[in-house]
Amino acid sequence: MPHRLTDFVAGLPKAELHVHHVGSASPEVVAELAARHPGGPVPSDLEQLREFMTFRDFAHFIEVYLAVVDLVRTPEDVEVLTYEVAREMALGQRVRYAELTCTPYTSVVRGMAIGDYTAALERAREAAERDFGLVLRWVYDVPGESGVPAADATLEFALQHRPEALVGFGLGGPEIGVPRPQFRRHFEAARAAGLRSVPHAGETTGPETVWSALDDLGAERIGHGTSAAQDPALLRRLADEGVVLEVCPTSNVATRAVASLAEHPLPRFVEAGVPVAIASDDPPMFGTTLNREHEVAADLLGLDEAGVARLALASVDASFADDELKRALRAEVTAYAGARGVRLDG
């Protein structure tokens, strides 16, 4: 990666649309939580922790991820985690706006009251905007492996205990053995309440899961959607309907959803006219950053500085920010590019 492009990406204002709350915790924060709640499988020693977080495949990643989730037990844990994630995004990656995917069900079933969870999120959000100028919004995610009861609870949290900054309703966890149609009524109710549909699909299963996300869940953006590249008719539909794929290249290789970066389908998505938003998923767990994901995308797509800036603008456009905020974010990206002698018109 040319040094000039790396520098450009580092300073580029960015929107992050597919990033998980707990999965964004740095090793230092995870180690702090492990020390605060000893006795579990997660080591508090940083070297041992890095070894612990080396994944064999997607199933092992889920196992490790849930072990880290188990460390978030108190409202203070939620607030500290969220604030530190915001610090790293804002100061380390120049993220100006982020839609953070949260899974309240996993905290509530461990004994935290939903009101305490929500209040902790909102305190951290307000502090992050005050201290770092980072605008945070929430997507509430159903952990698919926990089935309909988890979806029932998550929908209740979203509708009856809705935090001010909640914008989306999602579905994560394993895809294999978790059919999408069982969650149709939950997504219909969430969408009727003004929340946007952003399920994961097609990461570890075939195109049929992406079709189901569209037909059964009314997906407006899709997390990963990697296997959509196998189905030309699906690519045409995504392009025609403007459904954005949240593309996380390093994650896809780390979880073995894709064999290598060289084989990643991002170029096929772009060639087919499918809108994409470059994202990082669980960056510390995968040893990446949003900066790095933009560099990877630039390499895969053969982009220069203007092309990378357009990727940043595409994420702003795909966000669920209000129109005024989108205009401000677009202006910030454009001004940065202009100051670096990069023209985005024409």
Domain residue limits at 235: 3-20+92-339
What pairs with residue 142 in β-bridges?
171
CATH number for the domain that contains residue 243: 3.20.20.140
Using CB atoms within 10 Å of the CB of residue 123, give its burial: 0 to 12 exposed, 13 to 18 middle, 19+ buried. Answer: middle
Residue 288 lies in a domain: yes
Strands 14-20 and 135-143: unpaired
Which residues participate in catalysis according to the annotation? 203
Residue 38 lies in a domain: no
CB atoms within 10 A of CB 277: 23
Please give the tally of structural domains in the chain.
1
Instruction: Judge whether 29 lies within some domain.
Output: no
Q: E strand or H helix at 156, and its extent?
A: helix 147-160
Which pLDDT does position 25 carry in this prediction?
A: 82
In a domain, 238, yes or no: yes
Residues contacting residue 273 through CB under 8 Å, at least 6 positions apart: 239
Only one residue has tokens 């990069």, namely 342
pLDDT, residue 1, reads 57
DSSP three-state, residue 167:
strand
Q: Provide the H-helix boundaries in the chain.
A: 3-11, 27-36, 46-52, 58-69, 75-87, 93, 104-108, 114-132, 147-160, 184-192, 207-217, 232-241, 249-254, 266-271, 283-286, 290-301, 305-318, 323-339
Please indicate, yes or no, if residue 345 is contained in any of the structural domains: no
Q: Is the dihedral of CA 232, 237, 239, 240 positive or negative?
A: positive
Residues of the chain with pLDDT under 70: 1-2, 346
Domain assignment present for 68: no
What is the reported pTM? 0.93
Judge whether 71 and 34 are in contact, CB under 8 Å. yes
List the one residue out of 156, 222, 221, 142 whose CA is nearest residue 189: 156
Note whether residue 56 is domain-resident. no
pLDDT at 59: 79
Assess if residue 64 is contained within a domain: no
Neighbouring-strand partners of residue 19? 100, 281
